[in-house]
Every structure is written in C-alpha cells, then in structure tokens.
Amino acid sequence: MSRSFTHLTLGAALGALAISVLASTLAITPARAAEDAVIIPAPVMDLKAGDGVQTAILAGGCFWGVQGVFQHTAGVLNAVSGYAGGSKATANYTMITTGATGHAETVEIKYDPKKISYGKLLQIFFSVVHDPTQLNRQGPDVGSHYRSAIFTNSDEQKKVAEAYIAQLNAAKVYKKPIVTKVGPLEAFYPAEAYHQDYLTLHPNQPYIAIHDLPKVENLKKVFAEHYTAKPTLVSQAKVTN
C-alpha cells in the first residue's frame, strides 16, 4: 500500500481524505487514529557506550514514521529512510512495493552512544515506533516490505536485540508474541530523495497526520528525556552515509 498522494490511487487518496475530514468533523484527535504507545521496561542487556558514531538499522512499517520518530530523538545524528533485505538491483520504491524483492522499508540510524544507547533506541522502537506483534504489516500497510525487523551489524547487537525480545515476551507486555526478525545486515540502500524528511516536510498529509505524528507525540510523552523538538534532518545532517 502506497501512502503519498503522488502514488496513491484516486480511490485510496479520496479514502484517506475522507478519514481526515471525518476525524475533523467528529473532533477526533490524530492520536486516536494511531496505536498507543506501550510502556515497556528498558533492556537488561545493552551495548557499552564506546567511542565514535554507531549505527542501528530498524524496520517497523512505513519508513516515514520510523524516520520521523528517530529524527526527534536526542543523540541521533542522522536517520535515513531506505531498503534492506534485498538486492541493489531492486532497491527502489516502485519495485519493493510489490512485496516480491525481499526488502523491508528500513531506517539507518547514526547515533552518539555517549548520549543514547543501542538498547534505548530499541526500547523506543518497540514502544512508540510500531507494533512488533503485527506480522508483515503495520496499521493500514500490508506486505512483507512493512515487516518488523532488526538488521544487526555485529554479534553484540544481535545478542542485545534477541535478549530484549526474549525479555519483553517473558514480561508479557504485549497481548501477542513479538514477531520482529533479527538478522545480519547485508546492505542498506538509501531511499529516493522524496522519501527523506517526509514527516517534517508533509505534516498535513493525511497519512502522516493520522498515523505518524502521534508517534512523535508518544515519544515526547513517554521518553521526554530523549525527545528533541528540532528534528535532525537528512538534508542538514553533519553525519553522512
């Protein structure tokens, strides 16, 4: 399912507009249209702070919202929307939306480990970014390219991610088991320029207003100490990929 009006069919676009108008008419706030944050414990296991810029690669549905949340997360130096899980030849939006390329819409996060840890990024990912119990979908978006996944770049990241999933499942913080897949990153391919900084550039687009802006609000409420009002945009980031 495509989200931008550039790629939505007329019927889907009118449907999205109708939802927006209906919400306005009924005085429903955007937060009610999105999933609520789940309050979860911090991971027991985490990576050591270390030196230098570190990278986390996360997939949790439409990358617009995932990128938007982490761009408002203090300690994140850059968050780039892209594709992982498939080949370079098919790493483009038109092809991955068929669901046949093996890719997932993914965000590559560059962060300062002395300001935010890998485990804290995972806590935000599982709490406010998406619902990790939904298999091959997030909200209205359906397909394997919207799957929940953690692509790791070290054995240490893999251990932390798997231990945290086991911890959350054991604590039964969700009504259903977590379906997030953990596996090594083979390659990350940045998405097209028009996908970058999408949440900030298009705050009034119905999909963003209904499904993604509430996630940023949840970040502000649940992780206030890690929230920054000014987003770190790809177009302005000092750390490149």
Task: Return the ∠ at Cα 177 (arms to 176 and 181), rounded to 5°.
Answer: 135
User: Tokens representing 163?
Assistant: 């231990």
62 part of the active site: yes
> Under a CB-based contact definition with an 8 Å cutoff, are residues 87 and 80 in contact?
no
User: Tokens representing 124?
Assistant: 């935000």
DSSP H helical segments within 39-196, as ranges? 63-71, 93-96, 118-124, 155-171
Catalytic annotation, pick one of 37, 62, 185, 213: 62
Which helix or strand (DSSP H or E) is residue 221 part of? helix 213-222
Residues assigned a catalytic role: 62
